[in-house]
Amino acid sequence: MARLKVAVLISGRGSNLQALLDACADPAFPAELVLVISNIATAYGLERARRAGVATRVIDHKTFANRALFDQAMDEAIQDSGAQLVCLAGFMRLLTPEFVAVWKDRLINIHPSLLPSFKGLHTHARALAAGVKLHGCTVHYVTPDLDDGPIIAQGAVPVLADDDEDRLAARVLAVEHRLYPLALRLIAEGRLSLLDGVVRVGGGSGEAALLNPAD
């Protein structure tokens, strides 16, 4: 079976990108990365991709008159790469509804909270302030609304009594690095179905779409 071709959009260090690169380095993994795009030329994630032999592009949003033209340039590069799915991995630009529509159900994101809680920024500080006992991360399909869209997979960690923002963030990030490849595998294996805005998981390798505190 042909491997699913994937493009990844980044803006920074690319630690989740590295998790995807590591997973796709296994020839038995059902997906392969064919392009990494960054809007920041100095993003370290570009170096990660180059070391793995994956094509890279810098598309600087500052050189475009508006978001629509920037997104059009990205779409053209992604289409040219042959990618069938787009993963956002620390991509710090809001996408236009038009771009999201073109890639509907083929565009996913990882967010550092258990959505729908704590959408947006500063999720770990907000989780601590709210006193939640479980925190985590979510992989979801992207819709025009920020950090919205059907949930594909989630990973949870306990919030400990002595946690500060950095300790909690580090524990969540470790789960992110496991969850994103898992979600990509579920998609690439064709195990997901979407009904009334809810993702269902079935068949395949037996992996579930949840990483819990006991894992």
Q: Quick one: 63 and 2 in the same domain?
A: yes
Q: Quick one: 65 and 157 in the same domain?
A: no
Q: What is the largest CA-CA distance in the chain?
A: 50
Q: Quick one: 195 and 139 in the same domain?
A: yes
Which three-class secondary structure state does DSSP give residue 214? coil
Q: Quick one: 144 and 178 in the same domain?
A: yes
pLDDT at 207: 60
Q: Quick one: 1 and 99 in the same domain?
A: yes
Q: Quick one: 50 and 6 in the same domain?
A: yes
pLDDT at 210: 77
Q: Quick one: 45 and 23 in the same domain?
A: yes
Can you give the residue range of the structural domain that contains 151? 110-215
Containing 188, the helix (H) or strand (E) segment is helix 165-188
Of the candidates 76, 80, 43, the one whose C-alpha atom is nearest the C-alpha of residue 58 is 43
pLDDT at 156: 97
Backbone phi and psi for residue 85, each to the nearest 5 degrees, phi listed first: -145, 145
Q: Quick one: 208 and 126 in the same domain?
A: yes
pLDDT at 80: 98
CB 178 within 8 A of CB 211: yes
Backbone phi and psi for residue 175, each to the nearest 5 degrees, phi listed first: -75, -40
Last residue of a domain, one of 47, 78, 103: 103
Q: Quick one: 79 and 27 in the same domain?
A: yes
Number of domains in the chain: 2
The vertex-126 CA angle with 132 and 159, nearest 5°, equals: 35
Q: Which residues are catalytic?
A: 111
pLDDT at 208: 65
Q: What is the mean pLDDT of each successive set of 10 residues along the chain, which is 215 residues long?
A: 96 98 98 98 98 98 98 98 98 97 98 98 98 98 96 97 97 97 97 93 68 66
pLDDT at 209: 78
pLDDT at 205: 52
Q: Quick one: 135 and 214 in the same domain?
A: yes
Q: Quick one: 40 and 61 in the same domain?
A: yes
Which residues, in sequence order, are CB contacts of 187 under 8 Å at separation 6+? 4, 31, 85, 108, 152
Backbone phi and psi for residue 16, each to the nearest 5 degrees, phi listed first: -70, -35
Which three-class secondary structure state does DSSP give residue 60? coil
Last residue of a domain, one of 103, 138, 160: 103
Enter the pTM of the model: 0.95
Please give the Cα distance from 165 to 152 (Å, whole number). 26
Q: How crowded is residue 79: how many other Cβ atoms within 10 Å of its Cβ?
A: 11
Q: Quick one: 30 and 95 in the same domain?
A: yes
CATH number at residue 28: 3.40.50.170
Last residue of a domain, one of 70, 103, 136: 103
